[in-house]
């Protein structure tokens, strides 16, 4: 009976919070010079969609992109100096992504500029139901969880918009995983 109650409470917690893994970065936050913390559930996304202008090309893309998304959770940290954080700080997150429902689809790392980025997909049956993104630079750490069905190609196309410069294709990649 108790286990049933615990299971029900767990199910309720999952329904209330569609975030698919816990972004526990308190150790990183304490060392950061600035941070961004965004948590948007489905109702907030739907509300925001009403204020996105379909006649604006960028906002129209975002409006289309967030259809089917149940939540967006972002933690972004910036540091004054390199070495303020370590890969060990991210291990609790990676440990959660090593569960059977997650698979790492791509990761790139550059030994030259110390940039790393990896994308994990969460599956339910044959459907992808979530994305995890871990991106690090010597002075930046970004962890993203997008719950729901997201088109990565469209998300990628947003790079270069809203003031984010689109990265140039390197002549020779330094290293890839």
Partner 1 sequence: MDWLEEELRRALAREDPPDGFAERVLSRSARGAWGRRGWLAAAAMVVVAFGAGGAWRQHQGNQAKEEVMLALRLASGPVSHIQSEVRGMTQ
Alpha carbon separation from 95 to 23, 109, 135 (Å, rounded): 11, 19, 16
CB neighbour list of residue 105: distance below 8 Å, 6 or more residues apart: 119, 120, 121
Per-residue x/- mask for partner 1, residues 125 to 164, rule CB under 8 A?
--------xxx------x-x-x-----x--xxxxxxxxxx
Please tell me whether residue 29 binds partner 1 under the rule CB under 8 A: no
103 scored as a contact of partner 1 (CB under 8 A): no
Position 5 contacts partner 1 (CB under 8 A): no
How many other C-beta atoms lie within 10 A of the C-beta of residue 7? 10
Interface residues for partner 1 in 52-91 (CB under 8 A)? Answer: 52, 59, 62, 65-66, 72, 74, 76
Give the distance between the most distant pair of CA atoms in the chain: 62
Residues that bind partner 1 (CB under 8 A): 36, 38, 40, 44-45, 47-48, 50-52, 59, 62, 65-66, 72, 74, 76, 106-108, 115, 117-119, 133-135, 142, 144, 146, 152, 155-164, 166-173, 176
């Amino acid at each position: 009976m108790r286990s049933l109650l615990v299971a029900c409470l767990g199910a309720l917690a999952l329904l209330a919070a569609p975030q698919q893994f816990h972004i526990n970065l308190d150790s990183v936050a304490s060392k950061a010079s600035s941070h961004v913390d965004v948590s948007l559930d489905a109702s907030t996304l739907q509300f925001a969609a009403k204020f996105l202008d379909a006649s604006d090309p960028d906002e129209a893309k975002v409006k289309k992109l967030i259809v089917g998304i149940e939540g967006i959770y972002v933690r972004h940290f910036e540091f004054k100096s390199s070495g303020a954080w370590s890969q060990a700080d991210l291990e609790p997150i990676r440990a959660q992504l090593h569960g059977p429902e997650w698979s790492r689809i791509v990761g790139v790392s550059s030994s030259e500029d110390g940039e790393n980025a990896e994308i994990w997909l969460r599956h339910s049956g044959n459907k992808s139901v979530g994305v995890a993104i871990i991106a690090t630079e010597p002075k930046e750490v970004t962890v993203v969880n997008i719950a729901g069905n997201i088109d990565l190609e469209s998300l990628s196309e947003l790079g270069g918009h809203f003031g984010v410069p689109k990265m140039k294709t390197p002549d020779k990649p330094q290293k890839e995983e």
